[in-house]
Chain A
Amino acid sequence: MKRFIGFIKKEFYHIFRDKRSLFILFGMPIAQILLFGFAITNEINNVDIAILDHSKDATTEEIINKISASKYFTIKQIIVREADIEAAFKKGKIKAVLNFEKDFSKNLIKEKKATIQIITDATDPNTANSITNYINAILQNYQQSKNKGIQIDYQIVPQTRMVYNPELKGVFMFVPGVMTIILMLVSAMMTSISITREKELGTMEILLVSPLKPFQVIIGKVVPYIFLSVVNASVIVLLSIFIFKMPVVGSLFLLGAESVLFIITSLALGILISTIAETQQAAMMISLMGLMLPVILLSGFIFPVSSMPIPLQIISNIIPAKWFIIIIKGIMLKGVGVTYVWKETVILIGMTLFFIGLSVKKYKIRLE
């Protein structure tokens, strides 16, 4: 036991004396969470639009006022001729143009029907979609208020309610994802690097010719990073609660336990990488290419797994991060208990055991 503690002490010296890895360890989680939280967002706010009003009557003015009163849109430009629409879009500032037809009020009264053309800049499809939906919602709202008291034959009124994230905050989606990436990266990359460093510097040679058993070396490498990753996970959760007002509905204890499980999964992966890679650089490349990319692309962090082609959906199953994201989304946003995520938990435990078994089998007790 004393040997083991001595080994762990040595690992902490390494970590705290290497300013660069210390920066990666603690700087990256904070930077990433702030970046994803503030900069990268799907929400629309103060989108610049332009108006082309051919009728300029009371009704159109009312609608325009309603739109400009909402926090979503700012009317940046009034266009007079049809031909100027394209120029407005090309300047790039304007994301949508509302084109009211001629005699809007008159048509509404006489023919019970008037049209507004909504033209959106679809170079960014997601934003274009949101803009259209928001404007539609405002128009519908206006229409309903106008029809109040008037008898219509029949009417279907959809009542939508977004649950678990009613304000559709993007950060709610990113926090679980970023947490997954950070834990994966810190745990897998840092351990694999720290083990390969011993190989590269030749100290592994001395460690092998010592009474230390292989599992003592591995566990000794892993324990400090479990500790650091737990600190990291806590920092991320605290940041998201206090800065982004993200609710953690479910049990904090369950969240912690599942995080530790995922940390161990990643550490096992890191050890596996270090049994393959001979140099620190190789370990870093394998971690980045082999872990980071799949986590970002295939785990459902940014792109929903259900809309991927079938082969990719199948591949996504072997990515531990996918299961972890399901688990923590469930716990943080929906407040589910262990009965709802036991399947994913079992899968993660299974993967962890598999990785550990494989690394123990591949771990070399000699130099070749």
Chain B
Amino acid sequence: MSISLSNISKSYKKVKAVQNISFYVKPGELFGLIGPDGGGKTTIFRILTTLLIPDSGTATVAGFDVVKDYKAIRKSVGYMPGRFSLYQDLTVEENLTFFATIFGTTIEENYDLIEDIYVQIAPFKDRRAGKLSGGMKQKLALCCALIHKPKVLFLDEPTTGVDPVSRKEFWEMLKRLQKKGITILVSTPYMDEAALCDRIALIQDGEILDIDTPNAIVSKFPKTIYNVGANNMYKLIKALQHYEHLYSVFPFGEFVHYTDKRDSFEVVDLKSYLEKEGLTDIHIESTQANIEDAFMELAK
């Protein structure tokens, strides 16, 4: 296994950051930690990158123990922390050269690995890192984390604060890196990105809710979901919340996702109820559950 954790727990003073976490990541896998902020994702990253010692449990990265063999791990992993952590007063090229040097390599030696990404920021190579846009910064940080050809890549919320186009590009890059045999552990609060991983762990309040492939997680969803739309979103949610057969309701884009308690659900029933509540332009149709629905259901 590239990464394995068994019964890892970690507390800060009185706050339990993660509790009894166990999972593994296969070599060459793109594994996602999905969950809201404060769920314990960063703590898991820091334990795996040897920055924190777990209170209990064991973990290995690339076959090395995170406590005993921390020096070996530090040589063989790439780490991109959640916060932009490059030298803002150094240029793009200087940053990259610096990280190549401290890992005992050169840009030329591993250029093929970063080429796809680096060509996009190369026009700005003389610009100070602090003056780059959010998406550019992340690309540079990824280059710096990759420059020594790590066996395992840790990316803590790499797309937070990045525009949608750059986010999409970023994930395409991850897919390409995966093909080159690098194991990737990535975390994100964005549920739509979860579907791009091989397997995901849904995590909340320091506990894992479920681990599986995105499809399997979605297919486990027990109910049929209905996209409901109407002229007034706020009134619609209010009305649905008071509906006697309601199981769950969440706003989702321009619609709300509705599930019903009953096994035999008739669209007409709901429609007439909503009309009685004074809503117009009512639109109801069944839809596929997605990761967010699954997460909401598991987090209940």
Contacts and interface: CB of A to CB of B under 8 A. Distances in A.
A binds B: yes
Interface of A: 2-3, 5-7, 9-10, 13-14, 17-18, 201-203, 205-212, 365-368
B85 A6 contact: no
Interface in B54-98: 70-71, 74-75, 77, 79, 81, 83-90, 94, 97-98
A2 B104 CA distance: 7
A203 B87 contact: yes
A206 B79 contact: yes
Contact of A209 (B79, B86, B104): B79
15 contacts: A2-B104, A10-B90, A13-B94, A201-B88, A202-B81, A202-B83, A203-B85, A205-B51, A205-B85, A206-B99, A208-B74, A211-B75, A211-B102, A365-B70, A366-B51
B74 A210 contact: yes
A365 B97 CA distance: 24
A14 B87 CA distance: 9
Contacts of A203: 85-87
A289 to B, nearest CB: 28
Given A203-B86, A209-B49, 18 more contacts: A3-B101, A3-B102, A6-B98, A7-B102, A13-B87, A201-B85, A202-B84, A205-B51, A208-B50, A209-B51, A209-B74, A209-B77, A210-B99, A211-B71, A365-B70, A367-B52, A368-B52, A368-B53
B265 interface: no
Contacts of B94: 10, 13
Q: Lowest 6 CB-CB distances: which A-B pairs, in order?
A: A6-B101, A202-B85, A367-B51, A209-B79, A202-B83, A17-B89
Nearest to A15: B89
Contacts of A5: 101
A225 B74 CA distance: 28
Contacts of A7: 98, 101-102
Contacts of A209: 49-51, 74, 77, 79
B85 A3 contact: no
A366 B97 contact: no
A72 B196 CA distance: 88
Interface in B113-132: none
B223 interface: no
Contacts of B252: none
B119 to A, nearest CB: 23
Q: Which residue, A2, A18, A210, has most C-beta atoms of chain B within 10 A?
A: A210
Interface residues of B, number: 30
A13 B90 contact: yes
A132 B97 CA distance: 69
A279 B186 CA distance: 29
A9 to B, nearest CB: 8
Contacts of A210: 74, 99, 102-103
A14 B88 CA distance: 10
B11 to A, nearest CB: 12
Contacts of B74: 208-211
A3 B104 contact: yes
A7 B84 CA distance: 20
Nearest to A212: B102
A211 B232 CA distance: 58
Contacts of B71: 211
A284 B23 CA distance: 44
B46 interface: yes
A207 B86 CA distance: 10
Contacts of A2: 101, 104
B216 to A, nearest CB: 32
Given A6-B97, A17-B89, A211 B50 contact: no
A205 B104 contact: no
A7 B75 CA distance: 17
A366 B74 CA distance: 11
Interface string B133-153: 000000000001000000000
B146 to A, nearest CB: 13
A206 B81 contact: yes
B98 A10 contact: yes
A166 to B, nearest CB: 51
Nearest to B88: A201
A11 B120 CA distance: 27
A14 B89 contact: yes
A175 B49 CA distance: 50
A9 B97 CA distance: 11
Q: Which residue, A2, A203, A212, has most C-beta atoms of chain B within 10 A?
A: A203
A208 B53 CA distance: 14
Contacts of B144: 206
Nearest to B51: A367
A7 B98 CA distance: 7
Contact of A205 (B53, B81, B90, B99): B81
Contacts of B70: 365-366
Given A209-B51, A209-B74, A367 B46 contact: yes
A305 to B, nearest CB: 43
A17 B75 CA distance: 30
A6 B148 CA distance: 15
Contacts of B98: 6-7, 9-10
A34 B53 CA distance: 53
B50 A366 contact: yes
Given A7-B102, A10-B94, A367-B46, A206 B85 contact: yes
A195 B87 CA distance: 13
B53 A366 contact: yes
